[in-house]
Amino acid sequence: MNIKQLNQVKNNAILIHDQHTINKALLRLTKQLTQDYSTKSPVFLVVMSGAFVFAGKLLPQLNFPAQIDYCHATRYRGNTLGGDIEWKVEPHSCLRDRHVIIIDDILDEGHTLQSIIDYCHQAKVSSVKTVVLVEKEHSRKATPEMHADYCELTVPDKYVFGYGMDYNHYWRNCEEIYYLKETPDN
């Protein structure tokens, strides 16, 4: 896609959450995570590439000792529809007996997140919780009980981008969250 087409995508998209709304959600998440983890020395496991914008805004607001690691598991590979899970990078930290908080940008169906949760359980963590910026509203979750432990925003069942979520590998850098009026063919 060329720059003109990419700009057209954003210009034709519908704003869901503006920067002010996202900042308020971050503040609520910061308060809850501080309350729950300030005495537990957790490991925050950031899911690349989507969660790095969200994590980069959230983690500096947490004023307690924590480790930060990352992993890269994906289903989208630049497409608007997910496929099979592909592990690109596994966590580097020893997770055994640790409190792990997985940070991801979005909980859509939850297949990627469930794979990372399963990885953590196999590593014999003390606990594993999930924090996502947004959860998509639909009934197609990987399991009926699949929901984020910490989430303050929802989005409609549309293809969304911005604030770490991409459109064809672009627009992760938007400070707002948008959805496409129509899902384009890739």
Query: Is the pLDDT confidence value at 145 over 90?
Result: no
How much is the average pLDDT of 75-100?
A: 78
Distance of alpha carbon 150 from alpha carbon 132, whole angstroms: 6
The beta strands (E) that lie in 58-145 are given as 67-74, 86-89, 99-107, 127-136
Residue 49 binned pLDDT confidence (cut-offs 50, 70, 90)? confident
Cβ count near 124 (within 10 Å): 10
Query: Is the pLDDT confidence value at 185 over 80?
Result: no
60 located within any domain: yes
Residue 66 binned pLDDT confidence (cut-offs 50, 70, 90)? very high
Query: Is the pLDDT confidence value at 186 over 50?
Result: no
Domains contained in the chain, number: 1
Q: What is the mean pLDDT of the chain?
A: 91
155 located within any domain: yes
pTM, entire model: 0.90
1 located within any domain: no
121 located within any domain: yes
Give the per-residue pLDDT at 157: 93
Distance of alpha carbon 62 from alpha carbon 77, whole angstroms: 31
The CATH number that applies at residue 151 is 3.40.50.2020
How much is the average pLDDT of 82-89?
A: 75
pLDDT digits (tens, 9 = 90+) for 161-175: 999 999 998 999 999
